[in-house]
Structure 1
Amino acid sequence: MEPDVEVETLQQPPSLPRLYATAALTARGRSGSGPLPERALRLSDVRVDRDRLLLYQHLCGFPAGDVLPHTWPQVLGFPLQTELMARRDFPLALPGLVHLENTITVHRPLTADDVLELTVRAEHLREHPRGLLVDLVTEVTVAGEQAWHGRSTYLRKGRSHDVARPAPSPEMPAGEPAAVWRLPGDTGRRYAAVSGDVNPIHLHRLTARAMGFPRAIAHGMYSTARVLAALGPATSGPSTSRVWFRKPLLLPGTVALAVERHAGGEVVAGLTSRDGEVEHLVLDWRPIR
């Protein structure tokens, strides 16, 4: 944690439906011209709801059990991210932010018996050729020791800036699909019920249309979790992942998973439309030896 950041401890997880409503009402005037808040939000004594965990594991394809999936702490930390971005001193409007990338490091396996402390802060507001980028950083500690670290990068589309484009993501894996998944139209609602992320673009065709999409789109972190689950239980151990989101996955939809395994245990996985014409995401996963 940066020494000049004030830490505010919350007594309970924020309500995501309330935060989305607040963010919509206070979006006007947030142009990105102000600084990021010098504040971190913390939630202590977080205990895992095993029933909710089991539903998440079943929905995303992880094996049932007490070991927390690679992406589960992201679910726990997302309400804190949203709380920080919904407050009036956050310079970017939450509605319309695009989740471009997500990076996770699992320092040690986490289990449902662990008592977690979550801390979220915003950092690195910067120009991008398509607008402005900001990172939301989530740290998870157990008994004072860092166990998990995540960085979510969001884009606020707007005025183009004359800056270098970020380094490109890996090439999409070639070859025959390792799996083909048919995602029904209620996938977004089912994931929202487990994760709490009730962003309207994921819930129904009509609410998605109001936000400029022809149909509801799958949550990016749902797609990420499905890919990591397909790579096997090793992803829940010490490892790092980085995912680049490309095109939204419209629901219902059929997607194909391609996988390339490299020396040292590195795996590059890609999710595309069934015909390969639309690239939804590419993910790089590496074990920590």
Structure 2
Amino acid sequence: MPTAPLDAKVLDGEPGRLGTLVRAALPVVPGINQLPGVRKGSARDFAGLSYRREQVEAERAGVDAYAAVCGFPRRDTVPLTYPHMLAFPLHMAIMGDPSFPYPAIGMVHVENTITAHCAIGVGEALDVTTAVGAPRPHARGVLLDFVTTVSADGETTWESTSTYLRRGRSIEGEVTPGLEVPDPPTGGIEWRLPADLGRTYASASGDANPIHLYPLTAKALGFPRQIAHGMWTKARSVAAIENRLPDAVTVAVAFRKPVFLPGTVAFAARSDDTGWTFALTSPKDGSPHLLGRTTSP
């Protein structure tokens, strides 16, 4: 996995949401995508990139808004998945960097693994670094691993790897298998998801990708209507079992089938000697939207 180089670029503050969307869209606009500062570098020459945010506070208002939309209780520690919100501006900064060879639009989040080493307190000041290395091969294109490290007072408290698929031409190398969850649980409790869930989550998270907002914006990018955020499906699943998880835990998920909004999904979980396995599926045919498992770090 890539690690943050010493010359990681420091991102001051948090990118404006409108500006982030504009920067994400420019590299796919013919003509404009050839302008200096917009034109993307060569995938063949890309070796890695890192961005950093320093002394970012997990503010109470933001934590509470996130917890409410994802189903976590209000506590003095942040939800297990919350630090991803602090890293998301770094993901976007990397994707918007001219040296990153792929446009942000079209990047598909296929897997996410989080390792929490200890609880993080609300109001705690954190250093957040995200690094991405060279692409690796996939049967349908290339994969890029965005590795985030969160630290407090020099100690690593939280880590994650978000793996994105870029469809298209692949590269040479061995294709490695993704996350496997054998014999996932089925059935379970049904959750009815409202049409505005994507907008509510976007307000709390800052992830205002158009595919999550309205039918019109989703159709413009190839979806029949808006879909739920993948990281919301992970957060909501973790919230359903978080009172049975230790402070130090690894939670890995694979995002499979989009969840269209409004819609209904079924959540099921099962524990064994190694941890929990869980799944978010379609009540109609049992096809998986998300498969996950927890282990000790």
Q: Where on the TM-score scale, by shorter chain, does this alignment land: which range? A: over 0.9
Write the distance in 2 (CA, Å) between the matches of 1:270 and 1:52: 27
| SS of equivalent to 1:33 | coil
Aligned to 2:266: 256
Q: Choose which of 148, 151, 159 in structure 2 pairs with 1:138.
A: 148
**CA displacement, residues 2-25 of structure 1 (integer Å, 9 cap, x when unaligned):** 475512222212223312211211
- Match for 1:224 among 219, 234, 239? 234
Q: How does 1:8-47 map to 2 (within 5 A)?
A: 8-27=9-28, 28=33, 30=40, 33-36=43-46, 38-47=48-57
Residue in 2 aligned with 1:170? Answer: 181
Ranges in structure 2 where 5+ consecutive residues have no aligned partner: 34-38
Residues of 2 paired with 1:171 and 1:65: CA distance? 33
Alpha carbons of structure 1 residues 26 and 279: separation in structure 2 relative to 1, 3 Å: same
Matches within 5 A, 1:118-137: 118-137=128-147
Letter in 2 for 1:75: M
For residue 278 of structure 1, report the CA deviation from its aligned partner.
Answer: 2.7
Residue 99 of structure 1 aligns to a residue whose secondary structure is: strand
User: Take 1:217 and 1:175, find their aligned partners in 2: how far apart are those partners?
Assistant: 22
What CA distance in whole angstroms lies between the structure 2 residues aligned with 1:172 and 1:62?
A: 27
Q: Secondary structure at the match of 1:6?
A: coil
- 1:171-250 counterparts in 2 under 5 A? 171=182, 173-177=184-188, 179-235=189-245, 237-250=247-260
Shift of 1:263: 0.7
Partner of 2:36: none
Post-superposition CA distance 1:13-51 (Å, at most 9, x none): 222331221121123575862333644211111112211
Q: Which moved more, 1:190-199 or 1:13-22?
A: 13-22
1:137 alignment partner, SS class = strand
Structure 1 unaligned blocks of 5 or more: none
Pair 1:73-2:74 in alignment = no
Which stretch of structure 1 is more off in the superposition, 132-141 or 35-44? 35-44
| In the alignment, structure 1 residue 284 sits paired with structure 2 residue 285 | no
Return 216-225 or 35-44, whichever deviates more.
35-44
In the superposition, the TM-score normalised over structure 1's length comes to 0.92
Q: 1:7 to 1:253 in 2, by over 3 A?
A: same
2: CA distance, partners of 1:217 / 1:167: 23
Bigger CA drift: 276-285 or 228-237? 228-237
Q: Percent identity?
A: 38
1:63 CA displacement = 1.1
Post-superposition offset of 1:168: 5.1
Please give the alpha-carbon distance, in whole angstroms, between the structure 1 residues aligned to 2:183 and 2:227. 21
Q: Say whether the 8 Å CA contact 1:70–1:236 is kept in structure 2.
A: no
Deviation track 1:165-192 (CA, whole Å, cap 9, x = no partner) reads 5145213523441x21000100000000
Residue type of the partner of 2:15? P
Report the Cα offset of residue 276 of structure 1. Answer: 3.6
Q: What CA distance in whole angstroms lies between the structure 2 residues aligned with 1:208 and 1:172?
A: 33
The amino acid of 1:17's aligned partner reads L
| Runs of 4+ displaced beyond 6 Å | none
- How far residue 234 of structure 1 moved from its aligned partner, in angstroms, is 4.3
Partner Cα distance (1:32, 1:276) in 2: 42
C-alpha distance in structure 2 between counterparts of 1:280 and 1:17, whole Å = 29
Q: Which amino acid counterpart does residue 96 of structure 1 have in structure 2?
A: G
- Tell me the alpha carbon deviations over residues 101-133 of structure 1, each in whole angstroms, 9 at most, x when there is no partner: 001110111111321011111124111110011
Distance (Å, rounded) in 1 between the aligned partners of 2:207 and 2:4: 31
Query: Equivalent residue of 1:92, what SS?
Result: coil
Aligned length: 286
Q: Secondary structure at the match of 1:26?
A: helix
Structure 1 residues 147, 174: closer, same or farther in 2, change over 3 A?
A: closer
Q: Which amino acid in 2 is paired with 1:228?
A: V
Post-superposition Cα deviations, 1:61-94, rounded to whole Å, max 9, x if no partner, equal 1111111111100011101111111111101111
Is the deviation greater in 19-28 or in 72-81? 19-28
- The answer (yes or no) to whether the contact 1:172–1:282 under 8 Å persists in 2 is no
Q: Which residue of the partner structure matches residue 111 of structure 2?
A: 101
State how far apart, in whole Å, the 1-side matches of 2:266 and 2:180 are.
19
Structure 2: distance between partners of 1:216 and 1:107:
35
**What is the root-mean-square deviation in Å for CA atoms of aligned residues?**
2.0
> What whole-Å deviation, never above 9, does each CA across 1:203-230 have from its counterpart, x for those lacking one?
0000000000001000000000000000
